[in-house]
Amino acid sequence: MQPVADAARRGCAAGSPDGWRNGQFDVVRQLMALHGELAPPRQRRDYARIASRSVGVEPDVYCWQPAAWPPFLEHYAIVRGGEQTSLKSVLDRGASRIDLDPAMCAALGRYLQRIKPSEVTYQNFELAESLIVLTHEAEHLKAPSASEAAVECYALQHVRPLVREAGWGDAFANEIALLAWEIYYPRVPPPFRTGECRDGGPLDRSPGSNAWP
């Protein structure tokens, strides 16, 4: 843990809010390196191509192993004051890197294998959630100054076309998009939601269409 402690001291010694934020990012990087040594995450270029097709950026995407992600989250929650205990991903903008929760990776794997979720199962929710999580982080790379609420809204709008791309038909794509909107979106933390995220609203990327999200 010494590199983590050193990063924390550097952050505490910084004399500005930007310095403290950079120090926090450095602590997270050191924590990820520490836990990644025990069970190295696997790079997934095929998942990066999902982000490339939908968002237009191609980050380095890594999938964490089940043995490493939970202990990393315990330390991460301390850094974040306990506010991110259900974290599904971590973005390193400087490295253009996205690290994903094992469950999100499993759902993305089923998506790429074209394994359609059975009706009325939690896998439908995981499909929507995994596509949102991946494209949310990719949207941050595309628009670094955009707010969490804006990129979350943009990510919601990727669900329908990505599910349609899998060849499961418009009805199923509509079903998963509505699940994302009606079940997933109301559950995200307040900073990730906004009244501007609506059909015809300022964040609607297809204002000429009544299909939402």
Tens of pLDDT, residues 121-176? 899 999 999 999 999 999 999 999 999 999 999 999 999 999 999 999 999 999 99
Whose CA is closest to 188, among 144, 142, 100, 125?
A: 125
Domain holding 128, by residue range, is: 46-57+101-192
Which of 189, 142, 136 has its CA nearest to residue 162?
Answer: 136
Based on the fold, state whether residues 154 and 106 are members of the same structural domain. yes
* Out of 4-8, 129-133, 180-184, least confident range: 4-8
The pLDDT value given to residue 32: 80
Distance, in Å, from the CA atom of 159 to the CA atom of 91, rounded to the nearest integer, reads 20
Number of domain units in the chain: 2
Are residues 19 and 53 both part of a single domain?
A: no
Q: Do you find a cis peptide bond into 59, omega within 30 degrees of 0?
A: no
Q: How many residues appear in the chain? A: 213
52 & 144 share domain: yes
Q: Are residues 142 and 50 in the same domain?
A: yes
Residues 29 and 109 in one domain: no
Question: Is 60 exceeded by the pLDDT of residue 82?
Answer: no
Single-letter amino acid code for the residue at 32: M
Residues 144 and 185 in one domain: yes
- The answer on 155 and 53 residing in a single domain is yes
Mark whether 138 and 109 lie in a shared domain: yes
Two tokens, residue 98: 């996205």
Q: What is the pLDDT of residues 59-78, one digit of tens each?
A: 999 999 999 999 888 888 77
Q: Please provide the distance, in angstroms rounded to a whole number, between the alpha carbons at the two ends of the chain.
A: 44
Instruction: Report whether 74 contacts 111 (CB < 8 A).
Output: no
In a domain, 94, yes or no: no
